[in-house]
Structure 1
Amino acid sequence: MASEGFSDFFYPATDGLKLHARIYGETNAGGWPVACLPGLTRNARDFHELALHLSRKAEIPRKVIAFDYRGRGQSDHDPDIGHYNIGVEAGDVLAGLAALGIEQAAFIGTSRGGLIIHVLGALKPTVLKAIVLNDIGPVIEAEGLAHIRSYLDRAPKPRTFAEAVAAQRRVHGADFPALSDVDWARMVRAICRETDAGWVPDFDPALVDTLAGVDLSKPLPDLWPQFDALAAVPLLAIRGANSRLLSVATLEEMNRRHPGMESATVEGQGHAPFLEIGDLPDWIAAFLGRFENQVKQK
């Protein structure tokens, strides 16, 4: 798929499962590589436009690795759904980086991807050169998780591409008034695959079962200790103005605990903002370049 700006990379997890990632800018060696970690049911395609920007258009072209977790995209499904957890998935990311010979990288984590970054900070803090958290923090709002569980439980089964786009707009349109027709179409191509039965979500359906046992009537466990351990790592936090998962209060507390943190609120988007829209690609590229230059000047 080099003509589309990336190559496919397959590697074994420690338990033998075959996992997949996309590699953009494979020969780029001038800056920190970037590891892109998607949300719960999302995959490497979510980052396609941003990865093209960071690997081709940014002032410092970078190697970008966009991961498919186990059970998503082109990675194998796991017969044991108990392995669909952020600890195992963090280990899978480290295995992929090791297979590529990458010891350190900047990380961009959307939703679940940001939770995995918190775990990476505990498992191998030296791997983190910089962090972008996309609509995620140490506290997950129960309302946001309930919304995710609700639409996954009642996911439609569209027969055509147009039906698939219409279904996504029905569920998410109120939270994402900033999206254009092109954006909605790109979203569907990223999260679904075409089959004989129609356009289906590109993940193991068993993933939905992993949310079934979460008691949303009680506060969800937080990750403040893990977040505090990231205090020395350059951090950019992005929040969708209409997000139900990352609250304004949590973002403010993140700023208080990490005085060097930069933050941005994206109007017209909810959970989670599309990182390829508007000024976001340039903001992310500038953030990475600025802190990389500071390290080089020391």
Structure 2
Amino acid sequence: MTEFFTTPDGLRLAYNDTGHGHPLLCLAGLSRNMDDFAPVVAHFASRARVLRLDSRGRGRSDRDPDFHNYSVLQEARDVVALLDHLGLEKVSILGTSRGGLIAMSLAMVNPERLHGVIFNDIGPVVDPAGLADIMGYLGYKPSYSSFEDAADRLPEAMAPRFSNVPRATWQAFAEALWFETPQGLDIRYDPALRRAVLEQAAEGALPEIWPLFEALAPFPVALIRGENSNILTRETAEEMRRRKPDLIFAEVPDRGHVPFLDEPESRAVISAYLESVT
């Protein structure tokens, strides 16, 4: 069941709290929401307390009247507000894309709130080619007329980075990201998110944030990489492994940015991480 809490600046944010055991907070990508983590609930709620958050402006959470607040640092503060609301001292974070950047920010600013981090296809260097691909659709309605239409056409649209994906997975992908209207599918996030990203990008190239990753040195850390990712290069993943030799790692074949977390390789990484912290 979706629940809500109010941030210190007055926004009502949605979250879900399912399962029992080690607290695992799932943070979604830039324009996505908690529904991406349905496979994690299905596979791990019997051994972890799976928490899922819709960041401000996404999913069921309130949109921010000031788009400047769509920032990694503000969203990290929202995570701390959620933990305070739940009375949780620490959590592990499963961060997909932007969610992983939020986790690294917390490692630097609020390390006392972390048990550790699982990164889903993100690291301290974001490939500009992948960011350009994201900007090609961020803030725009898709061209699909229905969820069924999207499930039919996504395999071609997402090729060649994604292959051998069941139709049911594409259907779930579409239902998580968009909603149906009589005019076709529409986005489930604030389109002003595009303005925030463009304005932040105008301030200069994305910095390499290796110091934030190195702040995780005392913590257990895991990494899932899509074999065909255009956000997390193989070189960056290998450098992460070099700098943290105990990193739990797997590469998911036939997947780009980002793996769906239902793949055997993804489940194996999450399982190994939970074993390391419980």
Give the AA of the match of 1:41: S
Question: Deviation per CA, 1:271-295, whole angstroms, max 9, x where unpaired?
Answer: 0111112342243123211x124xx
Q: Residues 237 and 264 of structure 1 are in contact (CA less than 8 Å); yes or no, is this contact kept in structure 2?
A: yes
Q: Which residue of 1 aligns with 2:277?
A: 292
1:20 and 2:6 matched: no
| Pairs within 5 Å for 1:1-298 | 7-25=1-19, 28=20, 31-56=21-46, 61-152=47-138, 155-213=141-199, 219-289=205-275, 291-293=276-278
The whole-number CA distance in structure 2 between the counterparts of 1:171 and 1:40 is 20
Other structure's SS at 1:21 match: strand
**3-state SS of paired residue (1:159):** coil
C-alpha separation in 2, matches of 1:252 and 1:118: 18
Unmatched segments (≥5 aa) in structure 2: none
Query: Scaled by the length of structure 1, what TM-score is found?
Result: 0.88
Q: Is the 8 A contact 1:35 1:65 kept in 2?
A: yes
* Residue 215 (structure 1) shift: 5.2
Q: RMSD of the alignment, in Å?
A: 1.8
Aligned partners of 2:139 and 2:191 also within 8 Å: no
1:219 Cα offset (Å):
4.7
Paired with 1:50 and 1:103, the residues of 2 have a C-alpha distance of: 22
Separation of aligned partners in 2, 1:22 and 1:107 = 14
The alignment partner of 2:16 has SS state of: strand
Q: Structure 2-normalised TM-score?
A: 0.94
**Aligned-pair distance for 1:52?**
2.3
Task: Tell me how far 1:193 sits from its aligned partner.
Answer: 1.6
Number of corresponding residues? 277
More divergent stretch after superposition (205-214 vs 110-119) = 205-214
Work out the percentage of aligned pairs sharing the same amino acid: 38
The one-letter code of the counterpart of 2:128 is A
Structure 1: unaligned runs, 5 residues or longer: 1-6, 294-298
Change over 3 Å in CA distance of 1:215–1:94 after alignment to 2: closer
